Structure 1
Amino acid sequence: MFNAQTMKQVRRVHLYIGMFFTPAILLFSLSGALQTFRLQEEKGYGGTTPAWIVWMASVHKDSSLPRDRGAERPKKRPMAESPRQGAAARPAKPASSRLPMQIFVALLSIGLIVSALLGAIIAINSKTTRRASVIMLVAGTIVPLALMVI
């Protein structure tokens, strides 16, 4: 498929992108998994949500650290006035101050896409892993689609 020099460059780019974004990928993967079960919400956790889950959810959803939920907590507004869940618990951070983190997350998404594609190219380009790689790519596409239909 590709010559040895091209594959060496692909592996190097894949390594750098993967290693740079690995900490953020782990953070967002774990926080996303917790949010799948709504563990960042008191009703999802079944009691007072641990601070580390609240912190991760805030970084994941709001691109910011959670505000102090201490004594200066604002009064809760009725649900009809609240634009998003949790908005009554902390004031919204101005969009301009979230922009750098939002840009990083967008770059993370691009980096994850590029790294995944490069990884697939590396796996498919190797004769020893080609068959298993294609099978896993097909399975990785079919299984989630089937689970959503069930």
Structure 2
Amino acid sequence: MSLTHSFLKTARTIHLYLGVFTAPMLLFFAITGGLQSFSLHETTRGSSYTPPAWLASAAQFHKKQTTVMPVRRRQPPEVVAAGGRPDAVATGPSQTNIPAPAADREAGRTGVQAKSNLRPMKAFFALVALSLFISVLSGVYMAWRYSRKPRLFGTILLAGFAVPLLLMLF
């Protein structure tokens, strides 16, 4: 067997087993990332929507690798009165009439413009998350279906589920 053939065989085997081991977490990240695209994991100001606890925990685990939810402190009444801008409270009412520099005004305009086009980007990210989910699932199926060592495959896949669950205990 040539050196190139031997290297490719080894690389294919490593790719197979690393893919099988990481597949459960890739599926998890695809699902939670897709749901986070639509902000289903958080409450927005002025909304009565409360996310399900499992979704908020899954999003927290996706973002911070912990299921402990941070306690949100209520904003002081002055900040709420200033429209949720703590910097407006610090500057006081005397400085609110000072015109903003041109660069700040441009940044504000682009911020407003970017917010109006969020739906297509969110739909695209949801499509990417769905594509990743389907791709990983089909890859796991093909790896299982064409595996010459089904017990080793099953053991590694089970380890891909078990290791993150065990690490959550620490």
User: TM-score band, normalised by the shorter chain?
Assistant: 0.3 to 0.5
**TM (normalized to structure 2)?**
0.37
Larger Rg: 2
**TM (normalized to structure 1)?**
0.42
Which structure dedicates a bigger proportion of its chain to helix?
2
